[in-house]
Amino acid sequence: MTPWQGHAFIALIGPSRAQRSPTPSEILACIEALRQRGVTQAVTPALSAFEAEPFFQAGFTQHEALHLLARYIDTEPPKPTHRLRRGRPWDRPRVLELDSKAFEQFWQFDSFSLKEARRATPAHRFTVAVADGDVTGYAVTGRAGGRGYLQRLAVDPNLHGQGIGSSLVHDCLRWLHRKGVGMALVNTQERNTRALELYERLGFVRQREGLLVLRWDEPA
């Protein structure tokens, strides 16, 4: 369990990567322990239908449905058309500012969640797009067990539609290709048509089964 986006009263609770799925009674016990510590709301990471089931049984409800998309990386992906470079620690304040402009409040990153996204996999790539010395977009890509994960992608809303998002995705795919990774995965909210169209245009294919983000709210 960790705080959600830095809010001490919202917990992020999900199955551990290393262990079996929790049972509904284990989840209820966890919620009870959190309540005692003043937590009033809990959210899960993106879960498969199978992983979500015990959370539903423990009283969680659906917060958001996500599409899961996959892309084979069997040939070298196109070169980015925009200027990109590796993200540096001093880029983080600007990246977070841009992230909060690009995403609605629930999904916005703080410095903790940015660090978590970068630490979610054993290897990661943090790339920023730059123009006139300013950061215009960024992406975090992870690599684990022979698969690639596009963890985060955001472009300054004033600069949408100029190909910056596509360049960042191509950079992520090229990095994975260089590392011998044959498949990239990404998830996005079902209602995020702009991101969905971008991914599909760049060769990602929507998977039949999506993912769910669930939530629990302390009863009033």
Ligand X SMILES: CC(C)(COP(=O)(O)OP(=O)(O)OC[C@H]1O[C@@H](n2cnc3c(N)ncnc32)[C@H](O)[C@@H]1OP(=O)(O)O)[C@@H](O)C(=O)NCCC(=O)NCCS
Q: Output the smallest distance, CB 32 to ligand X, in A.
A: 33
Residue 113 touching ligand X (CB under 6 A): no
Residue 206 touching ligand X (CB under 6 A): no
Q: Which of 194, 206, 207, 218 binds ligand X (CB under 6 A)?
A: 194
Site for ligand X in 157-186 (CB under 6 A): 160-166
Q: C-alpha distances in angstroms, 51 versus 13, 116, 125, 163, 214?
A: 12, 21, 28, 36, 11
Taking the least distance from each CB to ligand X, the nearer of 102 and 140 is 102
∠ CA 59-1-17, nearest 5°, is 95
Taking the least distance from each CB to ligand X, the nearer of 21 and 100 is 100
Residue 201 touching ligand X (CB under 6 A): yes
CB atoms inside a 10 Å sphere around CB 145 = 7
Residue 192 touching ligand X (CB under 6 A): yes
Contacts of 32 (CB under 8 A, 6+ apart): none
Part in contact with ligand X (CB under 6 A); list of ranges 33-41, 57-65, 152-160, 203-211? 152-160
CB atoms inside a 10 Å sphere around CB 108 = 16
Q: Output the smallest distance, CB 191 to ligand X, in A.
A: 10
Taking the least distance from each CB to ligand X, the nearer of 54 and 165 is 165
Residue 155 touching ligand X (CB under 6 A): yes
217 contacts 4 by C-beta, under 8 angstroms: no
Q: Which of 2, 197, 205, 206 binds ligand X (CB under 6 A)?
A: 197
Token pair listed for 138: 């960024």
What whole-number distance in Å separates Cα of residue 95 and Cα of residue 85? Answer: 13
Q: Output the smallest distance, CB 12 to ligand X, in A.
A: 18
Q: What is the β-pairing status of strands 134-144 and 123-131? A: antiparallel
Site residues, ligand X (CB under 6 A): 102-103, 153-155, 160-166, 188, 192, 194-195, 197-198, 201
